[in-house]
Structure 1
Amino acid sequence: MAGKTISYRGYLKSCNYSCSYCPFSKHRASVSELEKDRQSFVRFCDSMENRAAEFSVGAVFVVPYGEASLHRWYWEGLGRLAALPEIHRVGLQTNLSFSVEKCLEIFDFSSAARGESKPGSLGRKRDKLCIWATFHPEMTDADAFSEKCRRLVESGVRLCAGAVGVPQNIPLLTLLREKLPPDVYLWINKMDGLERNYTEKEKAAFSAIDPFFERELNAPKADLNMCTDRCFVEADGGVRSCNIGRTKEVNWYQGSAEEIFGPQCGKKRCSCYLAYGGRADFAGRAFFGDYPVFRIPKRYSAIFLDLDGTLVPEGHRGGLPEVTRRRLAALGEKCPVFLATSMPEEEAWKRLGGDRELFRGAVFASGGYVLLRESREETKADHEDGVCGEESNVVREDGTCREAVHSLEAVPLSGLTEFAERVRARVRIYRKNHQIYKITLIKRHHCLWREQECERVRELLAQSGCRVFTENNCLQIIGKGLDKGVGVREICGWLGISPEETLAVGNDREDEAMGRVCGAYLRIPVFGEVSDCHFRKNPI
C-alpha cells in the first residue's frame, strides 16, 4: 500500500552549471551557507526516523534549487531514509554532474549503517533510490548524459530523464531519446519563457518523445481534496501542499498530521509536474505507479503492443523501423513483449519480416489465436503436470510453445461466399491446426462496409455465435466474446501473472479491450503523431 509523499527543499541555492537562463548558476555558496543547508537536511532526516511511521510516509523526494548531488550530506541522508522500513522510495533532482561510483558508495554505506549490516547488504537499498535527471544542452551532450544514465540503471538505480521543451532543441532531444536506454522515460517540460504557443508540429515532435507532453500544456484546475497524501517541506520546517502552494500556518517539526496534510492551496491551477503529478487523481499513476512524483515508470511483468498504426504505419510491410527494433530488443531483456493484433498469424508475421523473434508470443485475430513461446524448463514442468495435449484447446509444439485456437463452429461458408459475391468482396479463411479461427471479407481499397451489410452478415451467423466488426475495407469474423483483452488474459494466465501487472499500447477501438484488462494503457491515435497520447487505469 502506498504511503504519503514528502518533498523537501533546503537552503541550497548554488549550482556548478552556468546555464544562461538559471539564476542559481550565478551564485556561489559560502562555507556558512553550505553548513546551514547541511544542518537543516540532517534535522529533517532525524525527524523522519519518527515521523515516517507516525505519518505513514512512503516516499521522500529532494527537490533543491541548487545542485544537491555534489554534497555528501544529501547522499548520506538519502541512505538513512532508504534504510527506514516504512520508506519505499527516496529521490533526488539532479543534473547528473556527480560521480556515480563515489556517491552510490556513500549512499550504500549510509543505508547499511542504519539498516541491515549483514555481509552483502551494501547496495541492497538502491532499488529504493530514484534519480530525476535533467538534461542541460548548454553544459553537456547527449552521449555523455545518456552514458551516465546507463551506468546508473546498470547500478540498480531507478531513473527518469528530461529537459525543457525548447523548440530549437527538438533534433537534439530526439537524438537523446534514441541514445537513452529504452526503459528510461524521457519527459519534456513546457518552456515558460517561450512567449507564444507551441505549433502543432512542435507539439507532435515533443509528444513523440514524451507521451505526456500534452498534459504539460493543459494544467488541471486546483483541487484541495486531491492533495491530502502529500506535503512540501521547506528548510525551516515550513509546509505547503506542493511546491507552488501557499505556506500553511504550521511547522513540520511541531504540527500534527491533520495540520500538516490538511488541504490548503491558493492557486487556480496545478501549473507544473510537481504540482499535478502528485495529485491523487493523476491519471499517470497507472503508468508511474504509487509514487508518480518521481516520474519513473513502474516495472511491468509483460507488455502487449498493437502492430498496424502503433509499431508501424498502417499497411507498412518489411519489418520494423530500426529505432523501434532496438528498443524492443532492449525491452525484451527486461520483461516479455507480446504482439496483440487483429491480423491473422500469417499476415502479422509477414508485416514483421525477420523481427518476429523480438516477441515472446502474440494475440492474433483479436484473440482468435493466442501463442506463447516458452522456455524448455517451463514446458517440461507443464508436461510433467499432464496439461498438454492436442485434444484440449491448449496445444504444445516441439516443447517450446503453448497456443490456443478459438475456432469458429458451424459457420455457413457457402452463404458467406454468396453474400460476398453480391457486395463484390473477397473471402479469406484463416486456419490453425485445421481449425478456422478467423474469416475476413475484403472489399476494394477505400470501399467501406455499410451498416445494413454488417447486419446481414450477423443474420447469416446468428446460429454460429460469432463476433463481427469492421476495420477499414475489411469485415472481420471471429469467435463469440473474443477480443484482444481475452488474449491478454490467456497469456497472463499461462505466465502466472495478473493483467494488472501489464502495459498495453494501441491506436484504435479494437485495442481498447486491452485497456480494460491491463494495468495501464497507452493510446497512440496516429503513428508518428502521438498528439493525444495518454495512460489511463482500466479505461471504459
Structure 2
Amino acid sequence: MDLTVLYRGPLASCDYDCPYCPFAKRRDSGEQLRSDRAALERFTAWAAAQTGDRLSVLFTPWGEGLVRSWYRKALVELSRLEHIGRVAIQTNLSGRTGWLAEADRDKAALWCTYHPGQTPYERFLGRCRELTDLGVRYSVGIVGLDDHLEEARRLRAALPPEVYLWVNAAEGHTYTDEQADLWTALDPLFPYSRHPHRSAGLPCRTGESVVSVDGDGTVRRCHFVRAELGNLYDGSYRSALGPRGCPLAVCDCHIGYVHLETLPLYDVFAGGVLERIPARPVGEPARPVREPTPGGLTSPDPARRRLPLAGP
C-alpha cells in the first residue's frame, strides 16, 4: 500500500509571536513536551516497521518542531529507511540546519515559512542558503499580508531561482484583482490560495491514500474532518480506507485542497506534494483556476465526478 501520512502530535509551543497565529509564543510544560516526544517516538517506530508499505510523511505541528531534538531525529531516521519515499516538515526555520547532513537528502525536505518581524531577514535568508549548500529540498513561503509584500519581493530576488516562493492568502482576507495580481507576480500559483474551493461530494485522495494522524494514533481522513477512521496502532484504520466524497462545503487550506482530485495540483507538484515544491519552475498554472462564483468560492470543474457523502 502507498500511503501518505500527515502527522500532528500534541506539540503546540512556538518561539514566534505572529499576530495571525493562535499558537504564537505558546509554551508547553515539561510534561506536555515529554508526552509529545513519546507520541512522536511511537509514531516513528510504527512507520519504521511498515516495511510492506510505501510511506510518505509530512509533520504538520501546531508549534515549531525543529527546535526539538526528537523531530530532528525522526526526520533523519525516517529518511534513511528504504520504504519511506519522502519525509518533510513545516517549519519557521528558526533552528540550526547542520543536522540535515545526517539525513538522506533525496528524501528529507522542508516546507519553510518566513514571518517578517519575527526573525531578521538576513538570518532567515542565511538559513535558506545553508539548506542550498547542504543540498536539501525546500520551499519558502509567506502570508500574503499587505505589509509583507516588499519583504516577499526582496526574498524572491535573493533566493535561487529554482527555490519556489509560495504565498498563502491571509485567513479572512479578501483580495481585489489588483492586489491578487501583485501576489501572483511573485507566486503564479497564488490563485489557488486566493479563494476557498468548493469540495462537497467531490473526490479527494484523503481517506484513501492520504490520512491524518494525531498523537494518540487516531486516524482521520484529513486535519479538517473530525470523523475517525480508526487507530493507526491497532490497524483498524486500514479497512476504512477507500474513495469517498468530501463532507465539507469548502476547502481553503493548501494541505487539504492539494489532495482534491478536481484540481491539477498533483501534476503541478509531482514529486514534491508534501514539501510544496513544483515539478518544474512555475509559470502559469498547469490548468487555469476557474473563476470564483459571486460568493467568492472557486467552482470545481463540472466535468469531474462527484462521490457520495456516505461515511467519514
Structure 2 counterpart SS, 1:34: helix
Tell me which of the two structures has the higher relative contact order, counting C-alpha pairs closer than 8 angstroms and 6 or more residues apart: 2
1:5 CA drift (Å): 1.3
SS at structure 2 position matched to 1:170: helix
The answer to whether the Cα contact below 8 Å between 1:231 and 1:239 also exists between their aligned partners in 2 is yes
Shift of 1:7: 0.6
Tell me the residue number matched to 1:205.
182
SS at match of 1:184: coil
Q: Distance in 2 between matches of 1:505 and 1:64?
A: 31
The Cα of 1:261 is off from its aligned counterpart by 5.4
Q: Displacement, 1:288?
A: 1.5
- Paired AA for residue 24 in structure 1: F
Q: Which residue of 2 aligns with 1:181?
A: 160
What is the correspondence of 1:225-236 to structure 2 with a 5 Å cutoff? 225-227=204-206, 228-236=208-216
2:167 partner SS: strand
Measure the CA separation in 1 of the matches of 2:177 and 2:59: 35
**Equivalent runs, 1:435-446 vs 2, <5 Å:** none
Say which of 131, 134, 139 aligns to 1:160.
139
> After superposition, where does 1:117-136 map in structure 2 within 5 Å?
123=103, 125-136=104-115
DSSP 3-state at the match of 1:246: strand
In structure 2, how many angstroms separate the alpha carbons of the residues matched to 1:239 and 1:146? 36
Match of 2:79 in 1: 82
Compare CA radii of gyration and give the structure with the larger one: 1
- Structure 2's unaligned 5+ residue stretches are 289-312
Q: CA deviation at 1:226?
A: 3.6
Instruction: Tell me the CA shift for residue 259 of structure 1.
Output: 1.7
Q: 1:280 to 1:171 in 2, by over 3 A?
A: same
Match of 2:300 in 1: none
What is the rounded CA distance, in whole Å, between the counterparts of 1:522 and 1:225 in structure 2?
A: 18
Rate the CA distance shift 1:266–1:521 in 2: closer, same or farther, 3 A.
closer
Matches within 5 A, 1:291-310: 291-298=272-279
Q: Give the SS at the match of 1:152.
A: helix
Q: What SS does the corresponding residue of 2:95 show, helix, strand or coil?
A: coil
Matched residue SS, 1:65: coil
User: Offset of 1:22 from its aligned partner?
Assistant: 2.5
Task: String of CA shifts for 1:113-132, please: whole Å, max 9, x gaps.
Answer: xxxxxxxxxx5x11211101
Aligned partners of 2:93 and 2:124 also within 8 Å: yes
2:275 paired with 1:275: no
Contact 2:180 2:194 (8 Å CA) reproduced: no
Answering whether residue 239 of structure 2 is matched by residue 287 of structure 1, we say no
RMSD: 2.4
Change (3 A) 1:60 1:226: closer
Aligned position for 1:512 = none
CA distance change for structure 1 residues 291 and 160 in 2, over 3 Å: closer, same or farther? Answer: closer
Alignment of 1:93 onto 2:113: no
Aligned residue for 1:203, secondary structure, equals: helix
Aligned residues: 284
- The change in CA–CA distance for 1:294 and 1:504 in structure 2 (over 3 A counts) is closer
The amino acid that maps onto 2:179 is: E
Deviations 1:12-40 (A, max 9, x none): 01011122332322321111111100000
TM-superposed CA distance for 1:97, in Å, is 0.6
SS of aligned partner of 1:92? strand
Distance 1:38 1:4, change over 3 A: same
- Which residue is equivalent to 1:349? none
Distance 1:75 1:261, change over 3 A: farther
SS of the residue corresponding to residue 268 of structure 2 reads helix
SS in 1 for 2:228: coil
- Mapped partners of 2:245, 2:67: distance in 1: 34
Equivalent residue in structure 1 for 2:197, among 220, 224, 242: 220
| 8 Å Cα contact 2:205-2:243 kept in structure 1 | no
Contact kept? 1:252, 1:260, Cα under 8 Å: no
Give me the whole-angstrom Cα distance separating, in 2, the residues matched to 1:213 and 1:505: 11
Determine if the alignment matches structure 1 residue 104 to structure 2 residue 85: no
* Separation in structure 2 between the aligned mates of residue 138 and residue 204 of structure 1, nearest angstrom: 24
Matched with 1:137 is 116
Residue number in structure 1 paired with 2:10: 11
Summarize deviations over 1:241-299 as a string: whole Å, max 9, x none. 1221223141111214232556474311221100011334541223321441321123x
Secondary structure of 1:258's partner? Answer: helix
Distance across 2 between alignment mates of 1:131 and 1:93:
6
Q: Percent identity between the aligned chains?
A: 32
Residue correspondence of structure 1 range 445-484 to structure 2 within 5 A: none
Does the 8 A contact of 2:94 with 2:124 survive in 1?
A: no
Find the aligned partners of 1:91 and 1:20 in 2 and give their Cα distance: 25
- CA 1:281–1:199 in 2, change beyond 3 Å: closer, same or farther? closer
Pair 1:237 & 2:234 matched = no
Q: 1:261 to 1:98 in 2, by over 3 A?
A: farther
Change (3 A) 1:13 1:71: same
**1:90 Cα deviation (Å)?**
0.4
Compared CA separation, residues 174 and 86, structure 1 to 2 (3 A) = same
1:69 correspondence with 2:66? yes
- Label 1:134 to 1:261 Cα distance change in 2 as closer, same or farther (>3 A): farther
Q: Which amino acid aligns with 2:8?
A: R
